[in-house]
Structure 1
Amino acid sequence: MMQKTLRIHPNGPFDLKLTIQSGQTSQPPWKFVNGEFQELLMIQGKPCFIGIHQKPDDLDGPLTLRAESKYEIEDDEIRSKVCEIFDLEHDLMELYSFLESSEKLQPTIGFCRGLRLFKAQDPFECIISSICSANNSIARWNKSILQIKEKWGDEFDFASGEFHSFPSPETLMKVPEHDIEEMELCGCIGEPSDYKENLKSCGVGYRCSYMKEAARMAHEEIDITKLGDMDYDNAFNEVLKFPGVGPKVADCILFYGYGMGQAFPVDVWIGRIISALYFKREEIKPPKARTFGMEEFGEHAGYVQLYLFHYARKSGLLESLKKK
């Protein structure tokens, strides 16, 4: 059993807890056990347990990693995977220089210092998480995705506990949508044992059929491993082919799943925040807010959206907008 402890030095400040718990649709938060965040990572196809922690209030210090695997994995491979997920090589001070140049954006830094992209290790998990998040609370879609992992993902046991990977598109597309009673009603029942577990039981509601069809398309029609190599516009148009994916969810997938910084996910609340800050509270529709954000913030658009939403939640701006 490989067991090792490593250090990582982020490029600029990093708030581990804030990032993991910020509601980004890449994945549910990692488990928090005994003072560290824990998750299963697939590193060069090898399952590896990672436990990560930082000293309290030391956003500029190094991170400490614990790694466990029955396979031998190089230190640089482990560091590279963790750096990719938390965007640790991104120069956050460059982002802050951009934010400080704007009177409207500068206040976000104080509320969001160290907040980074929480990128999906598995883009398919991000696609399903983002579809599941539409018109849904963070707590509910997190619970649904965790149940999907536990029911149909591969199970791995480590000294530190049991973890599950996210199921493959081929696996998820074969999961029944409904329970046995509903299957009987529609006259399409097979062996009862085939329907002990169903996707609807994970609380995904009407999104169930979207998620199953997205799984089928990811398995049969769209090579999701190549989306990150496309330019933004082509990738955006390709992702829109998935059912249940409109512009907002597509931008979530491209930012949180593939790290495309020019993506600017806009829901009704980001639209209202942009309206309040830039259009003298004249409410504009999400398509206009999205175009404005991409043009105004450029390569920083994804991070600006992330910072604006967290700032609005913590500063009271979002609450004031709900009253209007």
Structure 2
Amino acid sequence: MRGRRMKLRDTPSVSPALWRALPCPAAELRLELVLPSGQTFRWRESSPGAWTGVLGDTVWTLRQERDRLWYTVYGGEAGADTDRLLREYFQLDVGLRDLYRSWGAADPLFREAAKDFPGVRVLRQDPVECLLSFICTSNNHISRITAMIERLCRAFGRHLCHLDAQPFHAFPSLAALAGDDAEARLRALGFGYRAKFVSGTARAITEGLGVEGLHQLRTAPYAEARKVLCTLPGVGTKAEAVPVDTHVWRIARQRYGMELGGRSITPRAHQEIGDFFRGLWGPRAGWAQAVLFCADLHKGREPVVSQDRDKES
């Protein structure tokens, strides 16, 4: 595949770089399971087995073949820096097969559910994009969230290029989303009550924590990071290492027999469910939860990503 170039229509000024490859067995990563599973909303299957999307300020196409992760970028050169970005994005230094074995040994239910879904891993996304995207997930489905994020990027993000007449935009800057008219524009784009949370959080980060402070939360103790995030508009108790939404709540009750009172997710239930799964699966419990979510998604169900919007948000 090295050296092949993709055909582009209507964009003679934008060309793909030569294809490069990273070693990556399917047991460590499966693009068709990870990219459309609700972690990120910037990728689409542009041709069978090929995924095109935006990572950083660059448009990429990815595909897998013979234990290799192949990629090309548009409007730039592929090299050691792009290798590093891709490895960091997919966290390829984390050995997934060993984690699956550990989770399966501790949890026969996980072992059974995950046997047909290897290669599901958690992405290391830009914190600003990840935070603002997940504010949009409240009471929403993946397909609708994807369309919302596309509208958000087209309206507020910098245009990067067209591929096959499809425009690609960078994720908006905080400054763009913190503007005086941002909330009204977001409402006009169909964001509803989420509009004030997106613009309010962009403004709160700009005026307080700052982008650098948000990035530093990656290395902060869990409780401290959670406390800071929960002060932002639209972020509530779902800011968990094991994100507890109605989907996880149902899994806890139906598959694991947890006795949880009531018909909604209370703060106490949040804590109990999170503690249960962290105790069962260990430090990377959120990764194991992502595998079960993906398994349900590919069994013909599109779970609501986050249904219980916090009353105080």
Pair 129,303 (structure 1): closer, same or farther in 2 beyond 3 Å = same
* Structure 1 letter corresponding to 2:161: D
What's the TM-score, normalizing by structure 1?
0.77
Which residue of the other structure, out of 48, 66, 72, is the alignment partner of 1:66? 72
**What is the CA-CA distance between 1:206 and the residue it aligns to?**
0.7
Q: Map 1:1-324; keep pairs closer than 5 Å.
A: 3-10=17-24, 12-24=27-39, 27-35=40-48, 36-42=50-56, 47-55=57-65, 61-70=67-76, 75-101=79-105, 102-120=107-125, 122-157=126-161, 162-174=167-179, 176-177=181-182, 198-222=185-209, 223-248=213-238, 250-251=239-240, 263-279=241-257, 282-283=259-260, 285-314=269-298
Distance 1:313 1:64 in 2: 25
Q: Note the alpha carbon deviations across 1:57-97, whole angstroms, 9 max, x for none.
A: x6xx1111112334x56x22101111122222220111111
Structure 1 alignment gaps of length 5 or more = 180-197, 252-262, 320-324
**What is the CA-CA distance between 1:277 and the residue it aligns to?**
2.7
Q: Note the alpha carbon deviations across 1:39-58, whole angstroms, 9 max, x for none.
A: 2333xxxx433211113xx6
Per the alignment, in what secondary structure is the counterpart of residue 105 of structure 1? helix
* Structure 2 letter corresponding to 1:54: Q
- Structure (1/2) with the larger helix percentage: 1
Q: Note the alpha carbon deviations across 1:232-277, whole angstroms, 9 max, x for none.
A: 22111111111111121x23xxxxxxxxxxx100112211211223
Distance 1:139 1:317 in 2: 12
Identity of aligned residues (%): 25
Partners of 1:273 and 1:312 within 8 A in 2: no
Structure 2 alignment gaps of length 5 or more = 1-14, 262-268, 304-313
Q: Note the alpha carbon deviations across 1:6-46, whole angstroms, 9 max, x for none.
A: 1011264321111101112xx3141322342112333xxxx
* Structure 2 letter corresponding to 1:69: G
| Structure with larger RCO (C-alpha < 8 A, sep 6+) | 2
Distance 1:318 1:103 in 2: 24
Q: Note the alpha carbon deviations across 1:285-305, whole angstroms, 9 max, x for none.
A: 333111212232221211111
* Structure 1 letter corresponding to 2:19: T
Tell me how many residue pairs correspond in the alignment: 275
Distance 1:177 1:159 in 2: 28
Distance 2:187 2:123 in 1: 27
Distance 1:314 1:156 in 2: 32
* Structure 2 letter corresponding to 1:301: A
Pair 149,140 (structure 1): closer, same or farther in 2 beyond 3 Å = same
* Structure 1 letter corresponding to 2:216: K
Per the alignment, in what secondary structure is the counterpart of residue 51 of structure 1? strand
